[in-house]
Structure 1
Amino acid sequence: MLQMPLWKQILIWALCALGLLTAAPNLFYNRVEQHNDAVAASTKAGFETDAQKADIAGWPSFLPSGIVNLGLDLRGGAHLLAEVQVGDVYKSRMDAMWPELRRALADARGEIGGIRRMPSDPTILKVQIEKPEGMARAVEIARGLASPVVTLTGVGQSSLDVSVEGDALVVQLSAAEKTATDDRTMQQSLEIIRRRVDAAGTREPTIQREGADRILIQVPGIGSASELKALIGKTAQLTFHPVLGRGADGNEIARPGEVILPSLDDKGVYYRLDATPVVSGQDLVDARPDFDQNGSPAVAFRFDTTGARKFGEYTANNVGQLFAIVLDNEVISAPQIRSAIPGGSGQITGNFTVESSTNLAVLLRAGALPAKMTFLEERTIGPELGQDSIDAGRIAAVVGMIAVVALMIASYGLFGVFATAALMINMAMIFGILSSIGATLTLPGIAGIVLTIGMAVDANVLVFERIREELRTARGPARAIELGYEKAMSAIIDANITTFITAAILFFLGSGPVKGFAVTLVVGLVTSVFTAIYVTRLLVVLWFARKRPKTITV
């Protein structure tokens, strides 16, 4: 007998209702968007303006408020493709190393004689040694300035390559250190750009690494590419302050000459700091992951001459006190001064992993872009063009829907009507899932949805054709329907698994719009299989239980 357990019917209807409920906010897009923006702004500021209260009241708080975010090609905005000049970092590292190497070689002047920096490639440090017999000693000193490469693939390797060319000592970054430096430079550039863009309150920006040294930046809703470039070029505020106290009250009134700032990592923790910084990020030369004397991950940093003097004097007079590192008015770390640091170089130690020490180094260096960025591609997409894309996508979806519905009803009659109802539920569930995960919809994403409309009825076609075959064997209609679903299941699963694999490859190997297409395709696969196998079957079961037909026509 054709039937379905009551618990399964309730579960199917519940999932359909959930899909419809989560998709509903997209029908009131502007109201929900204004509600969400007002909630986010008031939460960040800690109070609500009258306009924000009106926007928040515009959508009931007990209803879902997730909506599908519109991508750059639908909302309009700015697109940039930037190339990071990683070679600038190599030059900075060598320029910063020269004073340190010069002092170390000067201490052995009796063995190696006079020294002089020779003209060379900016990424190489070449030093002329007066006494050839002292070259071995000079090489030993230079190698002593190297440190272990702090990456999983560079464990056990040195950060410097030291060689000899005639009477010259040649120092440069090792291949492993260059790779690690490139990764840190790109991470730092990504972090700086993301912080700058996020601070502007833009919606769902795309900021991702492209290849070895390029960054793709897409920001919907921003006025122009030139405005985006100006936004990225802002300088982060990095400062180092004495810590006067620590507490959990963010509303405490700061005394004159003091500031109260929140901790970046420890939510609910606030630091009371001296408003005048000891040193600022402008005095910071370098910050990189390192290991402490116990072999535990740490972060090494170095100031320039002015910063080293100020930092050395302060640490000598405040051993045992906390020292806050502040980035954009948030305390990212507050280590304890364990001893005087007269040379301008020091370590931040704590319960770090290699990953967390690397991230902290990135934050420390996020006061300015580490290297020059060359913009290879830039374009501005106006909101009118985005609206045109939305209209074109809507027309394509409606035309595709009408064509599929007409074909299904003409081919399968009442069963085609069941498939059409399931298709409508399928579309709602797609938007419900995309809204719940905060996905960004692009024009290729709309193409994925339109493609899903055609694919959504494919499983129903397989089932209905199989039912036709079973009806020809003179079995009863109930048995024919049961066998139709059972025997079509393997073909449905095979077809969708192969499509899922293709979509997964597109997602992991593609970027930007390609990923958007893959996401909507995968979501559409899941919902279409659910609606075709379960929703359509449930509609057939309910109809059959009510009508009890002796024969059926598919």
Structure 2
Amino acid sequence: MRDRTTGFLITTIILAAIGVYLALPIQHPKWLTDLLFWQPASTRDLQIKEGLDLRGGLQVLLEADVPAGEAVDSDAIQTAKQIVENRVNGLGVSEPLIQVQGDRRIVVELPGISNPDQAIETLKGTGLLEFIETGEEFLTPGTRVSTTIGSLDDTGTVTGTNPITNTAGVTATGAVTPTTIYRTIMTGADLKTAGIGFDQTTNAPLITFDLTDEGAKKFADYTSANIGKILSIVLDKTVLSSPRIQSAITGGTGQITGSFTVEEARNLSVQMRYGALPVPLRVAESRAVGPTLGQDSVRKSINAGVIGLLVVIVFMLLYYRLPGVLADFALIIYALLVFALFKLIPVTLTLPGIAGFVLSVGMAVDANILIFERMKEELRGGRALRSAIDIGFARAWPSIRDSNASTLITCVILFWFGSNFGASIVKGFALTLAIGVLVSLFTAITVTRTFLHLVMNNMDLSRNRWWFGV
């Protein structure tokens, strides 16, 4: 028994030390954050993530732009969601939330976004990149065109599309009366990557791109045969630039110049890099969300939470005495472990998420109360102290197990509901509550019991049961 208690104690100390280290508001070393392989590489850190209601930002509801009554393939929506998520990560937004709502909608939440209009354009743009043959005709940047990959009707909608890898049904907006259909030489399917660069002479921002091996060969063959002619570069049927081919381009790389700002160039490169959407999207709704809690309110809420925790600690100390003191230590370890998990997973904290955590604290205390009340009953019945501790835990366990299991089942249902119907508020509440419940099972059953056995092994308290509230 002593060896088992020692093993649990060492495990508890190690976990508590890890929790304390992860909870510290410091810049953790890169080698540590690199271990978090399940987090996106661009946002990999050990900081608390704040949701829209705590930080403010942009919420966008994207909807498949297809005729009413036309079915939308579920795989296409999932692929579109992944592309939108890649674009958001490419913009460098931290703690975004992207999820499918129903069968044709995607909900996007971008905390702390600085330029909502450009972010929306980047998200909803189909991202169809084309290199079109224009011969001697110079097309001014911003011109809307029709190409052999689909054609524009009078409303600006692309019709008659042909599949390009997984791309079909591209939509453009704006009134256009096309007179010429230009031949598409290459598409974004031939693109390996795209990024932002700067002109060495003017320092103006530009877009750089690298082609795949097949795309590089195709580009080299075309430019070799068309020296002196114009090749227009088009994104979503809008001309970006119309450079004249000065010589054969055989290196598989290129640049797109134009009157771009740095942010415009970055957003365009993000659209190009992550490919075209398999289904056109339109913005069904967008709104800028201000933080419902200011810094002062957040500070007051934290203070209120700390005061509440202290009240619980004092109550446990006065009513249950020694077991209450040990439960208080277990509760502190519980808070550290939950806080560490919030950083590791990571969990985006919202007001409902904080409410779920506070509720789980109450459930953690409730488990200890069930155990201690059973212990007191056994002691009043005349059992020896060590026997009363073991029987108290054994007889309280079924009640703790069943109550927590029912809570976890409810959390799963709420999480599923939030994931499938875009109710991120419900999802955050369910996730934080479930994490808290699981950790509370460990601290109430293992940590508190280990502390009690440790005290029993090193102190003779059998003659003075006052210490146990009897």
TM-score w.r.t. structure 1 length? 0.56
Distance 2:212 2:431 in 1: 35
Q: Does 1:206 align with 2:115?
A: no
Distance 1:364 1:305 in 2: 26
Distance 1:548 1:537 in 2: 17
Q: What does residue 484 of structure 1 align with? A: 392
- The farther-off stretch of 67-76 and 196-205 is 67-76
Distance 1:514 1:287 in 2: 41
Q: What does residue 547 of structure 1 align with? A: 459
Q: What does residue 394 of structure 1 align with? A: 302
SS at match of 1:400: helix
Q: 1:59-115: CA deviations, max 9, x gaps?
A: xxxxx9623322222222222223333228xxxxxxxxxxxxxxxxxxxxxxxxxxx
Q: What does residue 280 of structure 2 align with? A: 371
Q: 1:105-163: CA deviations, max 9, x gaps?
A: xxxxxxxxxxxxxxxxxxxxxxxxxxxxxxxxxxxxxxxxxxxxxxxxxxxxxxxxxxx
Q: What does residue 74 of structure 2 align with? A: 183
Q: What does residue 215 of structure 1 align with? A: 106
Q: 1:191-227: CA deviations, max 9, x gaps?
A: 4432332211111211112123322111112125435
For the 8 Å contact 1:12–1:534, the answer to whether it is kept is no
Q: 1:13-46: CA deviations, max 9, x gaps?
A: 32552354245344315x4599999999xx999x
SS at match of 1:497: helix
One-letter code of the match for 1:9? T
**Structure number with bigger Rg:** 1
Q: What does residue 433 of structure 1 align with? A: 341
Q: 1:327 to 1:484 in 2, by over 3 A?
A: same
Distance 1:12 1:288 in 2: 62
Q: What does residue 57 of structure 2 align with? A: 77
Q: Does 1:515 align with 2:453?
A: no
Distance 1:493 1:281 in 2: 65
Distance 1:419 1:497 in 2: 22
Distance 2:341 2:302 in 1: 19
Distance 2:35 2:386 in 1: 54
Q: 1:218 to 1:36 in 2, by over 3 A?
A: farther
1:402-441 equivalences under 5 Å are 402-441=310-349
One-letter code of the match for 2:60? L
Distance 1:86 1:300 in 2: 14
Q: 1:11 to 1:537 in 2, by over 3 A?
A: closer
For the 8 Å contact 1:210–1:216, the answer to whether it is kept is yes
Q: What does residue 270 of structure 1 align with? A: none
SS at match of 1:81: strand
Count, aligned residues: 360
Q: What does residue 66 of structure 1 align with? A: 46
For the 8 Å contact 2:97–2:110, the answer to whether it is kept is yes
Shift in Å, 1:543: 1.1
For the 8 Å contact 1:72–1:220, the answer to whether it is kept is yes
Q: Does 1:307 align with 2:219?
A: no
1:151-162 equivalences under 5 Å are none
Distance 2:459 2:123 in 1: 66
Distance 1:188 1:466 in 2: 54
One-letter code of the match for 2:66? V
Q: What does residue 438 of structure 2 align with? A: 526
Shift in Å, 1:12: 4.6
1:444-459 equivalences under 5 Å are 444-459=352-367
SS at match of 1:229: helix
For the 8 Å contact 1:396–1:450, the answer to whether it is kept is no
1:88-103 equivalences under 5 Å are none
Shift in Å, 1:232: 2.6
Shift in Å, 1:365: 9.8
Q: 1:276-318: CA deviations, max 9, x gaps?
A: xxxx9975344659xxxxxxxx86879996436x47xx9xxxx
SS at match of 1:307: strand
Distance 1:376 1:301 in 2: 24
1:276-315 equivalences under 5 Å are 284-285=149-150, 286=161, 306-307=182-183, 310=185
Q: 1:332 to 1:413 in 2, by over 3 A?
A: farther
Q: 1:339-364: CA deviations, max 9, x gaps?
A: xxxxxxxxxxxxxxxxxxxxxxx999
Q: What does residue 226 of structure 1 align with? A: 117
One-letter code of the match for 2:64? V
User: Which residue of 8, 13, 19 maps to 2:10?
Assistant: 13
User: Once superposed, what is the RMSD of the aligned Cα atoms?
Assistant: 4.3
For the 8 Å contact 2:77–2:104, the answer to whether it is kept is yes
Q: 1:188 to 1:462 in 2, by over 3 A?
A: closer
Q: What does residue 461 of structure 1 align with? A: 369
Q: What does residue 236 of structure 1 align with? A: 127
Shift in Å, 1:236: 3.4
For the 8 Å contact 1:426–1:528, the answer to whether it is kept is yes
Q: 1:417 to 1:22 in 2, by over 3 A?
A: closer
Q: 1:236 to 1:281 in 2, by over 3 A?
A: farther
Q: 1:390-420: CA deviations, max 9, x gaps?
A: 3244134213212211221121112111111
For the 8 Å contact 1:203–1:220, the answer to whether it is kept is yes
For the 8 Å contact 1:400–1:450, the answer to whether it is kept is no
For the 8 Å contact 2:12–2:447, the answer to whether it is kept is no
**Unmatched runs of 5 consecutive residues or more in structure 1:** 46-63, 89-174, 242-279, 290-297, 315-322, 338-361
For the 8 Å contact 1:192–1:369, the answer to whether it is kept is no
Shift in Å, 1:525: 0.8
TM-score w.r.t. structure 2 length? 0.65
For the 8 Å contact 1:86–1:213, the answer to whether it is kept is no
Shift in Å, 1:530: 0.7
Distance 1:389 1:35 in 2: 35
- The farther-off stretch of 415-424 and 326-335 is 326-335
Q: Does 1:498 align with 2:406?
A: yes
For the 8 Å contact 2:125–2:281, the answer to whether it is kept is no
SS at match of 2:25: helix
